[in-house]
Amino acid sequence: MNRKDWALFAISYAGEGHLSPAQLQKSLFLLGENKKSAVRKDFYKFAPYNYGPFCKDIYSDTGSLEADGLIKFSRPIGRSWVGYSLTGEGKKRIKELKDAAIADDLKYLSEIIRWVKSISFKQLLTAIYKEYPKYKINSLFSGV
């Protein structure tokens, strides 16, 4: 699977809700760090940024997924950021991709998504910085 497929799976595991850009960034970071055998060499490359590990390519890939009609962007009420969710076409694509994926890798990603959706932004950054301290170096987040 290519990196956009992984991003699509991550968004699919948000269920009927949405995944925020920070949740997607951190989920794909954790996948790449902890399941290196699951991702290809051209997977996202993260660097320390304002709020921990960041890869700008995720934004271009989500834009491409949206242009292809596989995901939609929506702004949750009261939020300044857009959330990502699957479209009907995205759900069809996920069904096609499941045969090519390793179930254990998908299970790991679904567990990551469940975890990032269950905690606050501050808790997410605190956990990432604790496990991967080098990504805190450029942080603007003073709450950690």
Helix (H) or strand (E) holding 115: helix 103-118
Polymer length of the chain: 144
- Are 11 and 86 in contact, with CB atoms under 8 Å apart? yes
Dmax (CA) for the chain in angstroms is 43
- The predicted model scores a pTM of 0.93
Q: What structural domains does the chain harbor?
A: 3-136 (1.10.10)
Lowest mean pLDDT among 5-14, 25-34, 79-88, 112-121: 79-88
pLDDT tens digit sequence for 61-119: 999 999 999 999 987 667 677 899 999 999 999 999 998 889 999 999 999 999 999 99
What confidence score (pLDDT) does residue 144 get?
Answer: 55
